[in-house]
Amino acid sequence: MMASKPRYRLLLRLWPYLRPYWPWLVAGGAMALAVSSAEGFIAWLVKPAMDDIFLKRDLFMLKVLPLILLGAYLVKGFARYGQSYLMAAVGERVIARIRRELYSHIQGMSLSFYAQVHSAELMTRVVNDVNRLARLSSTVLVMAVRQMGTVLALLTVMFMREWVLALIAVTIFPAVGVLFRTIGRKLYKIGKRSQEKMSELNVVLQEAFTGNKIVKAFGRERLQQERFDGVNDRLMRLALKDHRVDELAEPLMEILGAIGIMGAIWYGGYRVISGALTPGEFFSFTTAVILLYGPVRQLGRMMNTIQQSISSVERVFDILDTPPTISDKAGAVTLQDFRDRIGFEAVSFRYPESEDDVLSDITLTVRKGEMVAFVGMSGAGKTTLMDLVPRFHDVKSGRITLDGRDVRDVSVASLRALMGIVTQETFLFADTIAYNIGYGRPGATQAQIEHAARLAQAHDFIAALPEGYGTPVGERGVKLSGGQRQRIAIARAFLKDPPVLILDEATSDLDAESEFLVQQALGELMKNRTVLVIAHRLATVKHADRVVVVHDGRLAEVGTHDQLMTREDGIYRRLAQLQSLDALSTN
């Protein structure tokens, strides 16, 4: 996708981000031209300094020229500072906007996207790749206009002084172009591989840190160290290779410059000896040549920076160019409430990387206020089916409706606002208990947070903590037990107070006593609400209005607990027997 386009065309993608700052760019460009003009003027002053002061011994020029030279340097210094700051400010604002858009775009991607791309890889793109983009934008914006203007100003001085000498001096320019093109290609490849290795390093770090308990339990610290060292060493070798190639440009550029100056001195010295040039004209020209190679060298350095960074531009826009699979369609309706029923109409679904359907021909109606339990073996498709309701994924065929309206025709925000979800894997943010419960309702009061905690049977253990609701839970809630984390997650859903509740293994991490208390709270909460419960433990769903058995991605059985237990060869009955939940009369 990206590789087929000329790499430099990617830089044009930055223009829409730069356009709002065009007055700053114009002002910065004007200051850059002032720097360039001052540089050329300084080279121009060498002739009157040599001819008028040192050869003609003109006292007036002796008094005036140093002041003029000082003025030129003052203009150059202030203009350089202003241009550097303005351009850097534009670059930083552009990068902040790109980083924000990248983060927002990733947030809008479906769950299947996150299943295909490691979270550490995404963090690398948001942080490392965008930082390289910042280096690119600040370098190009600050240096391009200034150095190109300086080159033009100095070339003008050189050709005005002696055009033949100027031609001799610039004969090395094609060689310089070939040099930086060759080096640039190598730097691009190295830069791309370096960013890939940086992503790999972040993956190793994240897995080692988040899975440190497993690492220690199995005594695999040495293995993790070897994994880290392997990637770190490869990254180091790439960095050294990058420096070797990048730093090679500087001495080669100086050698080529020396060749040009050598030719200019030979021919220029001959012209001075023959009387065709004054010493002042020759030294003015030589000064321009010496000053010229500085900005040419900086332009070469800028090209190297572009090549080193352009792989990061590719990686950033590769994400931005990936369209979100879940988004609001034009004219999407905003839902205000849930009134009647949820419908599954011949629903089928498969994951993007899969060749087989995970769900096939699911047809079911869930009435408002009904509690429906979904059971089945692991991998049967229960969680995937529930993920389709709030549009974490979209169906492959068929449709899901809310009050008769296809969920794809309503806004995602209003759809999810009607639903409270407790996921199978409890996730808590690295903040306080109050923050994590209050996450379910922005602006919730302390009294509302505590009420939700009481409903989830979490208030007592929270109150017993030294800092109460202000207790930090640690990364992913690591400072709390599994049951405590689960109850806080349930409280978070309670606080949202939605008309539809999706409880995915909602009580799987609770002990028997806590589970009983939470079930009591759920009984009160579920009045006049629609509840979809997913559980492997059938004891939690015996009192559901209906039980739906999902098997191999299809609805195998539907009925109440008692009805399904009467089926001699039923899947539900077999699951119940395996868990020894009922004393069956046949036994």
Bridge partners, 534 (sequence order): 374, 504
- In degrees rounded to 5, what are phi and psi of residue 347? -80, 130
Residue 509 C-alpha from the chain's centroid: 33
Q: What is the pLDDT of residue 583?
A: 41
Whether the model clears a pTM of 0.95, i.e. scores above it, the answer is no
Distance CA 38, CA 29 (A): 14
For residue 580, the model assigns a pLDDT of 58
User: What is the phi/psi pair of residue 321, to 5°?
Assistant: -85, -5
Confidence of residue 523 (pLDDT cuts 50, 70, 90): low
Residue type, 396: K
- Least confident window among 132-136, 226-230, 391-395, 399-403: 132-136
The yes-or-no verdict on residue 61 having pLDDT over 60 is yes
Half-sphere exposure of 368 (CA within 13 A, CB side): 13
Question: Does 3.30.365.10 match the CATH number of domain 372-579?
Answer: no
Q: Specify which of 23-32, 54-63, 305-314, 535-544 reaches the highest per-range mean pLDDT.
A: 23-32
Taking the alpha carbons at both ends of the chain, their separation in whole angstroms is: 64
Q: 359 - beta bridge partners? A: 349
Largest CA distance in the chain: 125
Alpha-carbon distance of 515 to 539, in angstroms, equals 10
CB 357 within 8 A of CB 349: yes
Are 388 and 380 within 8 A, CB to CB? no
What DSSP letter does each residue of 103-124 carry, written as one string? HHHHHTS-HHHHHHS-HHHHHH
Burial label, 105 (beta-carbon count in 10 A; 0-12, 13-18, 19+)? middle
The reply to whether CATH 1.20.1560.10 applies to domain 10-320 is yes
Sign of CA dihedral 258, 264, 267, 269: negative
Q: For residue 301, what pLDDT band results from cuts at 50, 70 and 90? A: confident
Residue limits of CATH 1.20.1560.10 in the chain: 10-320
Neighbours of 197 (CB within 10 A): 20
Model pLDDT, residue 399: 92
pLDDT tens, residue by residue, 555-582: 998 988 888 888 888 888 888 777 754 4
Dihedral sign, Cα of residue 231, residue 234, residue 240, residue 244? negative
pLDDT over 70 at 350, yes or no: yes
Contact 502, 532 (CB under 8 A): yes
pLDDT tens profile 171-221: 777 777 777 778 877 887 887 888 888 888 888 888 887 777 777 777 788
Which strand (E) or helix (H) includes residue 85? helix 59-107
The neighbouring-strand residues paired with 364 are 344
Q: Where in the chain is the domain with CATH 3.40.50.300?
A: 372-579
Assign 302 a pLDDT band (cuts: 50, 70, 90). Answer: confident
Q: 371-375 and 530-534: which strand pairing?
A: parallel
d(C-alpha 475, C-alpha 427), whole Å? 9
Strand ranges inside 89-207, DSSP E: none
